[in-house]
Amino acid sequence: MSDHAHALETYTGLDSRKLAIWTFIGSECMFFATLISNYLVNKGRNLVGPFAHEPWTDPATGQVMEPIIEIPLVTLGTALLLFSSLFVVLALYGAQRGNRRMLLIWLGATLFCGIFFVGMQVYEFTHFVNKGLTLQRNMFGASFFVLTGFHGTHVTIGVIWLATMFYLAVRGKLPPERSVNLEMAALYWHFVDVVWIVIFPVVYLIR
């Protein structure tokens, strides 16, 4: 992006790149609305287990199995994702004021939280598949993996985007006049966070 980018004049008087990311985020609201609707509409319409919150009997062995959802691990991931939103906004604060140390520390902390969250989700998916829950197993499996899988993909894209910003910051290529680049990545990251704020109670807490 050119150093002169900040000097561009627009009809609205606003930065077009910020308007673009907000428009994209608006469209993403619709995207996740369909996935959340799909999950809610199919909730409780399972013919076979595993179930999210209720014990179930394995038809092959006759053994009664525990509910598949594990609240403590996901709560930790949720807390770290929330804190990552705080960290990235502090990184942006540093970037806008030319405070490189503040930018690097908080952006690094954001990346750590994002990577932890993705790792938590990979562990959770593997754990669920090992317990017999797959996309094809039942309606819960299908809607759960599609909803949380797409969210996890968004988190992964966010981690890659923020890692790119971190690389630029380390190289000294993220001065205050280019901080809008980090602001766009941060807006996307916050959106990923607010989507999880909805998904967490809907999928993990509401029975």
Partner 1 sequence: MTAHVPAQEHAHDHPTPGTYAKIGLVLFVLTALEVGLYEFTFGEQAGALGHQIEPFFIPLLLILSAVKFALVAMYYMHLKNDSKLFSGVFVFPLLIAIVVILALVILQAYHWAFARSG
Bridge partner residues of 64 (DSSP): 57
| Residue of 152, 179, 185, 203 that binds partner 1 (CB under 8 A) | 179
Output b/e per residue, 126-164; b: 16+ Cβ within 10 A: eebeeebbeeebbbbbbbbbebbeebbebbbebbebbbe
Using only the alpha carbons of the chain, give its radius of gyration.
20
78 contributes a contact to partner 1 by CB under 8 A: yes
Size of site (CB under 8 A) for partner 1: 55
Give whichever of 98 and 119 is closer to partner 1, judged by the CB atom: 98
Contact status: 122 vs partner 1 (CB under 8 A): no
- Contacting residue, 2, 3, 4, 13, with partner 1 by CB under 8 A: 13
Shortest Cβ 148–partner 1 spacing (Å): 16
What is the C-alpha to C-alpha distance for residues 60 and 178, in angstroms, rounded to an integer? 60
Distance CA 189, CA 164 (A): 13
Please name every residue paired with 74 in a beta bridge, in sequence order, or none if there are none. Answer: none
Residue 124 as a binder of partner 1 (CB under 8 A): the answer is no
Among 41, 64, 157, 160, interactor with partner 1 by CB under 8 A? 41
The answer to the question of residue 64 lying near partner 1 (CB under 8 A) is: no
Minimum gap (Å) between residue 53 Cβ and partner 1: 8
130 binds partner 1 (CB under 8 A): no
Smallest separation (angstroms) from partner 1 to the CB of 136 = 22
Angle in degrees, CA 30, 34, 35, rounded to 5: 120
d(CA 1, CA 133): 46
CA distance 141 to 170: 42
Instruction: Report if residue 100 touches partner 1, rule: CB under 8 A.
Output: no
Q: Shortest distance, CB of residue 90 to partner 1, whole angstroms?
A: 6
Q: Identify the CA nearest to 93 among candidates 197, 159, 186.
A: 186
Contact between 201 and partner 1 by CB under 8 A: the answer reads: yes
Residue 155 backbone dihedrals phi, psi, to 5 degrees: -60, -45
Using CB under 8 A as the criterion, which residues of the chain lie in contact with partner 1 when the complex forms?
5-7, 9-15, 18-19, 22-23, 25-27, 29-30, 32-34, 36-37, 40-41, 53, 71, 75, 78-79, 82-83, 85-86, 89-90, 93, 96, 176-177, 179-180, 187, 190-191, 193-194, 197-198, 200-201, 205-207
